[in-house]
């Protein structure tokens, strides 16, 4: 019997596009694993993990809690007050996250227990994950819809939303790199139907 090939899919899209909701649905319905890069970034900062020691050398022991963990709020306070320090921290954390994800991909390919492995990260395109995944999916929602979601779910002000959107890739850039576009501007059922059509197609091809 021919071994199944795991499809590695990167999930990207602007803030408020609904990536978390899309992945919750996929995880519930399909035989898959989902890696959230933000969660990995917290893991690799734990004692004994990928970049713990380097961060302590860079930031100092004042960012530690009594039990030796890196305190998120203390770390954030230091790095967001110093742009150069933030760059140095990112140079440590981003490669460590990528190493963790690459190891996870290799393990899942070896185990052959799942059909899909999804990776969600804010900077999938910018950090070169295009070369790691089989394909990228762009979770799209119109700017108006995203603004409304951010106001309702996170209580963001227009000023804060403007600042975030100004730093993100344009719709054209997302589309240039992504093979699949999932329109998540409307109701959830419509979104789920788009997902099902694509994933069922891949399962049928196996």
User: Which tens digit of pLDDT belongs to each residue from 110-143?
Assistant: 999 999 999 998 788 988 899 999 999 999 999 9
User: What string of pLDDT tens digits covers the 206 residues of the chain?
Assistant: 344 589 999 999 999 999 999 999 999 999 999 999 999 999 999 999 879 999 999 999 999 999 999 999 999 999 988 989 999 999 999 999 999 999 999 999 999 999 999 999 878 898 889 999 999 999 999 999 999 999 998 999 999 999 988 888 889 999 999 999 999 998 999 999 999 999 999 999 87
Is 61 buried (19+), middle (13-18) or exposed (0-12) by CB count in 10 A?
exposed
d(CA 101, CA 95): 10
pTM here is: 0.89
Contact by Cβ (8 Å): 136, 124: yes
Is 186 buried (19+), middle (13-18) or exposed (0-12) by CB count in 10 A?
exposed
Mind listing the domains of the chain with CATH numbers?
6-31+114-206 (3.40.50.300), 38-112 (3.40.50.300)
CA end-to-end distance (rounded Å), the chain: 12
In percent, how much of the chain has pLDDT > 70?
Answer: 98
Return the residue matching tokens 């951010």: 150
Side-chain half-sphere exposure of 38, counting CA atoms within 13 A: 6
Contact by Cβ (8 Å): 169, 121: no
């Amino acid at each position: 019997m021919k071994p199944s090939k795991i499809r590695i899919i990167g999930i990207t899209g602007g803030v408020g596009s609904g990536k978390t909701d899309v992945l919750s649905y996929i995880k519930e319905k399909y035989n898959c694993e989902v890696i959230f890069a933000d969660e990995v970034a917290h893991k690799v900062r734990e004692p004994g993990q990928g970049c713990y020691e380097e961060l302590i050398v860079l930031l100092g022991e004042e960012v530690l809690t009594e039990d030796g963990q890196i305190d998120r709020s203390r770390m954030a306070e230091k790095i967001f007050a110093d742009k150069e320090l933030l760059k140095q921290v990112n140079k440590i954390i981003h490669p460590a996250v990528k190493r963790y994800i690459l190891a996870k991909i290799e393990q899942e390919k070896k185990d052959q227990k799942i059909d899909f492995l999804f990776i969600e990260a804010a900077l999938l395109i910018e950090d070169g994950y295009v070369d790691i995944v089989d394909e990228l999916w762009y979770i799209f929602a119109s700017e108006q819809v995203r603004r409304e979601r951010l106001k309702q779910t996170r209580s963001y002000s227009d000023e804060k939303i403007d600042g975030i959107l100004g730093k993100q890739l344009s719709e054209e850039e997302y589309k240039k790199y992504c093979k699949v576009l999932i329109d998540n501007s409307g109701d959830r059922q419509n979104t789920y139907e788009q997902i099902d059509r694509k994933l069922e197609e891949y399962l049928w091809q196996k």
